[in-house]
Structure 1
Amino acid sequence: MARSDVHPIHRFEPWQVFPGSFDNPPADGNFPCPPERGVAITRRTRIASLGSCFAREIKRRLIQRGFTYIAEETHHPAAVHASAAWERVYNTHCMRQIFEYSFGAWSPEVRWWRAPRSGTIQDPYRRVVLYAAEGEAEQDFARHREHSRRALASAELLILTLGLTEIWQDRHDGSVISLPAGPYVNEGGDMARYEFRVSRTAENLENLERIHALLSKHNPGCRILVTVSPVNLWATFRRDADVLSASCNSKSTLRAAADEFAAAHDNVFYFPAFEMATIYQPLLGRGFFAGGRENFHVNKPTVKFIMNHFFKWYAPSEPFTPFDEGE
């Protein structure tokens, strides 16, 4: 137990003190955390997840280890990242819209985009979900709402991965389209209708509270595990900040909102995947960035480190074998 020279009567537990500082043990590969983690799952626990790029890694590892992962719309290409065809969900505004159309009325003024060159129908609220005709889009979305509702209403644990704070918002009705900065479909709708801005802590927390209220009404027994994606922004739409500063701002804002969210509810818990990657890996003398063209992602050893801790912490009653280099 570490002692504070400034306040000698106070005794800190090792997980309360920065690893390796003064007499505290150095980082040893076991991320320090309080003994009470709040969540315990087994392979029978029904788990759903949605969020940004890192959510896909969580889904993959849960399925690999034989946990009961809720997978609706398995035929749909937009379902590969999450429990239903939500595609990647980068911001809390789009997350909130998913819960609103799953559990109630949600009718934005502009429902579909028609791409000007190809004529393809695009769902602007889900990333790169395309159709040949509007009738096909309407039918598929009606089916999707049922699948989405079923996934969220049946989950015993919901994992939300928060990604970024940059949004494009409809100037008329306030709806937010799914448009992260990146090398994606170069068509879309009338962007003059939408305003770019950076969302702030209070409104992200408000979105999370709305999600909690809807889930509490329709699935009151569900617990929520929230995390912040350690994947950096590939690019920023901001003209007043470089991409590194914009990425730091996004993650810091979401981390603050997640902390407030978890502190406000007995059934909400925070999993420090972001800290495991960006702080703890360097303490171990390791890098966490991926190589190649997508170097803003985290590398595979870091993903394995994070998910090994996930299973050690939250599934203590299940047999545990760490992910090896080949997985």
Structure 2
Amino acid sequence: MVNAKQALARTKSNDHDRWAGGDALSARDRIVSKVVVPQGLQTFSCSPGNTFFAIGSCFARNVEERLELAGANVLSRQMDVADLGATGARTLGLFNKYTPFSILQELQFASGERDYPEEAFLSAGLDLFYDAQLRINSGNASLEALRARRKEINLAFARAFEADVLILTLGLIEAWFDTKSGLYLNEVPAPRLLMKEPDRFELRILSVDECREALREIHTLLARHAKVGQKIVITVSPVALARTFSEHDVIIANTTSKSTLRVAAMEFASEHEGVDYFPSYEAVLHSAPALAWQDDRLHASDFIVGRIISTFLTRYGLPPEGSLEEVEISAVDSEEALITRLRREVDRYKNQILALEKKLATQDPRKEVS
């Protein structure tokens, strides 16, 4: 409870308390400037040499790539496991974790507090299986090969406990649960599995309470296994829900998903010391669409991700060197058109790099020997 005197003192000391009016720090004026990264409540700073580990949705891959580009030591970019034929665009994309429970379970496996059940390897047909805690396109293989890779995966995620700063990116709330293994799946199972065992898999739309409880369990687990003094940055991925299994319009379902995660993240941050919420979602949502989104309006542009990470590093005491994102953005239409074209070129170039990275990964000498 906050009394009137405290409330008035808060708004007086808050430079970003007004949507319109006042000075250039109003929400309206910042939004009109076309790119805005709102000011979150910050309780700690980083130091040169700090290590980072990002875990969560595909936005975590964007974050860690940009952090590494800025010169940070990103442990989650150093994960190396056997390639069993993954077909995703990003080599590390198979590690995406889309729900709070997917993140929690992976950390439980990595810590050794939970054994990985055999039932979690789902049938891919022809005596092949896949790891349902990874992307569905992570590669089909024999149970023996999957068991061996799972050990490597557990060791890779255990590096999250070594990081100075752990970054959690929350993706969505539509979660599929496997009643046989007792685990939340990372993605919807293959349609043939749903048809074959319709009672085995359940769609669960997570509530704020469920998301918050999963985050609390993550924090408790980290308290037991992470290095002393580890900090946490939690954010909500701006990447939209690609498809909904609810009865709602996907736009409504996506809004509900992000709102649920946003509330859970804020409450989680307010409950624990050393946990900050960083407004990546709000930055993409309120920046000019032509600059903030790729053409599919599903994924955030590399341009805006660069701005978000540059702002994060600056606010947390690790300002990056000059980059393309420092170009001044004008309200002039011709300049906006130019920046939009540059953004598209950056996205196209980034996708080409990802394709090349994937091609090179398939030529891994270790894979050729096996």
* Shorter-chain TM-score above 0.5: yes
Between the aligned partners of 1:210 and 1:194, the Cα distance in structure 2 is 23
Q: Distance in 2 between matches of 1:315 and 1:8?
A: 27
1:105 paired with 2:114, answer: yes
How far apart, CA to CA, are the structure 2 residues paired with 1:130 and 1:242? 32
Q: 1:33 aligns with which of 27, 30, 39?
A: 39
CA distance change for structure 1 residues 301 and 144 in 2, over 3 Å: closer, same or farther? closer
Show the 5 A alignment for 1:158-173: 158-172=166-180
What corresponds to 1:141 in structure 2? 150
Cα drift, residue 126 of structure 1: 1.3
Closer/same/farther in 2, CA of residues 271 and 8 from structure 1, 3 Å limit: closer
Report if aligned partners of 2:38, 2:283 keep a CA contact under 8 Å in 1: no
Relative to the length of structure 2, the TM-score reads 0.74
The 3-state SS of whatever aligns with 2:235 is strand
Provide the residue aligned with 1:14 in structure 2.
Answer: 15
Cα drift, residue 42 of structure 1? 3.5
Q: In structure 2, how many angstroms separate the alpha carbons of the residues matched to 1:287 and 1:72? A: 30
TM-score (norm 1): 0.83
- Among candidates 101, 111, 129, match of residue 93 of structure 1: 101
Q: Distance in 1 between matches of 2:90 and 2:164?
A: 19
Tell me how far apart the structure 1 counterparts of residues 135 and 9 of structure 2 sit (CA, whole Å).
54
Which has a greater percent of helix? 2
Name the amino acid aligned to 1:46.
T
For structure 1, the 5+ residue unaligned runs are 1-6
The residue number in structure 1 matching 2:242 is 234
Counterparts of 1:273 and 1:319 in 2: how far apart (Å)?
18
Distance 1:162 1:10, change over 3 A: closer
Alignment correspondent of 1:206: 213
Aligned-pair distance for 1:172? 4.8
Looking at structure 2, the residues matched to 91 and 157 of structure 1 have their Cα atoms a distance apart, in angstroms, of: 20
Q: CA 1:313 to 1:188, structure 2 compared with 1: closer, same or farther past 3 Å? A: farther
Alpha-carbon distance in structure 1 between the residues aligned to 2:213 and 2:53: 22
The alignment's C-alpha RMSD in Å is 2.9
Where in structure 2 are there 5+ consecutive unaligned residues? 1-7, 326-341, 351-370
* CA 131–198 in structure 1, closer or farther in 2 if over 3 Å, else same: same
1:256 partnered with 2:266: no
Contact 1:80 1:87 in 2 (8 A): no
- Give the partner amino acid of 1:289: W
The alignment partner of 2:120 has SS state of coil
- How many corresponding residue pairs? 305
Once the two structures are TM-superposed, the CA of residue 113 in structure 1 deviates from its matched residue by: 1.1
Secondary structure of the residue that 2:216 maps to in structure 1?
Answer: helix
Identity of aligned residues (%): 26
- Equivalent position amino acid for 2:209 in 1: A
Cα contact 1:52–1:88 (8 A) shared by 2: yes
Q: Take 1:133 and 1:109, find their aligned partners in 2: how far apart are those partners?
A: 12
